[in-house]
Amino acid sequence: MSSGVGTSGVAVDNTAQVLALTVRRGPKAFPPDRIVTLRCSPPSGSHPRPVFACRVLAVVGGDPTKLDLSPGANCPKIFAPVSVAALGTWNGNRIRVERTFGNACLLKAATGPVFDF
């Protein structure tokens, strides 16, 4: 396990892959309706499918904004916004993402198992 010293003088684990993931119905991610933790070295946490979520995130370097798993998904054109957030670290990089999808189908099509909890 490699680590370094952060700007605050605190040791930072550059291999950590730990995220807090949130979901909320509506146009804003906070306060969340649901929150889980996801650790990916090895897969664990309170996420119900950590192995699958970690595999998907590994492909995009832990950045959920780069996910688009099913771009041609046939989702209904119903506006029922769902907002998500990911906060944490991935291989020494800070992750802080908030995103709103038009409905739960579009969220699932883009992010697969990552926010499926």
Chain segment 47-106, per-residue pLDDT in tens: 999 999 999 999 999 999 999 999 999 999 999 999 999 999 999 999 999 999 999 999
Whether 61 and 94 have beta carbons less than 8 Å apart is answered as no
Going by pLDDT thresholds of 50, 70 and 90, the confidence category of residue 15 is: confident
**What residues contact residue 36 under an 8 Å CB cut-off, 6+ apart?**
20, 21, 45, 46, 47, 48, 117
Name all domains of the chain by residue range, CATH numbers in brackets.
14-111 (3.30.350.10)
Query: With 50 as the cut, is the pLDDT of residue 1 above it?
Result: no
Between CA 29 and CA 72 the distance in angstroms is 25
Whether 48 and 117 have beta carbons less than 8 Å apart is answered as yes
pLDDT of residue 12: 53
pTM for this structure?
0.85
